[in-house]
Amino acid sequence: MPLLATWNINSVRLRLPMVLDFLADKQPDILCLQEIKCQNDQFPQKAFAEAGYTHQAVNGQKGYHGVAIVSKQPLGDIDRREFCAMGDSRHVSALIDTAAGPARLHNFYIPAGGDEPNPEINPKFRHKLDFLAELKDWFDTPEFDAGHILVGDFNIAPHENDVWSHKQLLKVVSHTPIETETLDALRDRRNWVDLVRQHIPLEERVYSWWSYRARDWEASDRGRRLDHIWSSPAIAPHCSQVEVIREARGWTEKPSDHVPVLARIA
């Protein structure tokens, strides 16, 4: 324990039945959601509590962004951090118990960055790079000397087998060299372990997101691995299993464009 899941749900109220079905089937101990797209008082707290997830940490925002953690186990010392003085709700964290001892679980929704990978003409891409720069400075503080787990929609597919075509996406936001190199440097900053790639070899293609623009996402299979679970080095050996629930992309007529990613820290 725990079995930890992360999922960009793209509106928790719109897709609540699908989330509850997922919880009933997979029974994760903790679920981290991104893009909940609701304010704190609009979050379906009662529905999650009735499903057994009585411990909740929410950082919502009207109509956009927003992150939440729902858990069967206690969440201690809940914290929310603002990045880039934008007023966006893109982070929430809490203390949890793991086999390696107490750890702080961070749930992130890193900015997507818009369509043009040029910070001089695209303020959304500048925002993304500034967000990553703030993360770098934060990781350098003594706070991160202890155990941490980072999850969420990072909006970056770092490895060439994290995208359907490395060559064709080198100039597409989420896989440009400045993004992938920055994320790799962030990972190396604290020797974070990419738990998905700890269990799934780099030679194997893995995706967690497929665009809504594709008429048949499964046939075209033009995916990217944007959703991640990282841990401090001391926690990584306790991760015994990871799973990307690919089939969730087709569970309903209007699914999220992301699918859940799970890791068992046991």
* Helix, strand, coil % over all residues of the chain, rounded to 5: 30, 25, 45
Q: What is the tens place of the pLDDT at every residue in 70-122?
A: 999 999 999 999 999 999 999 999 999 988 889 999 999 999 999 999 999 99
Q: What is the tens place of the pLDDT at every residue in 164-199?
A: 999 999 999 999 999 999 999 999 999 999 999 999
Which among 23, 62, 70, 10 is positioned nearest to 40, based on CA atoms?
Answer: 62
Instruction: List, in sequence order, every residue forming a beta bridge with 263; answer none if it has no partner.
Output: 4, 242
Q: What is the pLDDT of residue 97?
A: 92
Q: What is the tens place of the pLDDT at every residue in 29-42?
A: 999 999 999 999 99
The structural domains of the chain, with segments of one domain joined by +, span 3-265
Q: What is the tens place of the pLDDT at every residue in 132-163?
A: 999 999 999 999 998 999 999 999 999 999 99
The CB density around residue 180, as the number of other CB atoms within 10 Å, is: 20
Q: What is the tens place of the pLDDT at every residue in 236-257?
A: 999 999 999 999 999 999 999 9
Largest pairwise CA distance in the chain = 48
Q: For the structural domain made of 3-265, what CATH number should be given?
A: 3.60.10.10
Q: What is the pLDDT of residue 1?
A: 59
Q: Residue 266 pLDDT more than 90?
A: no
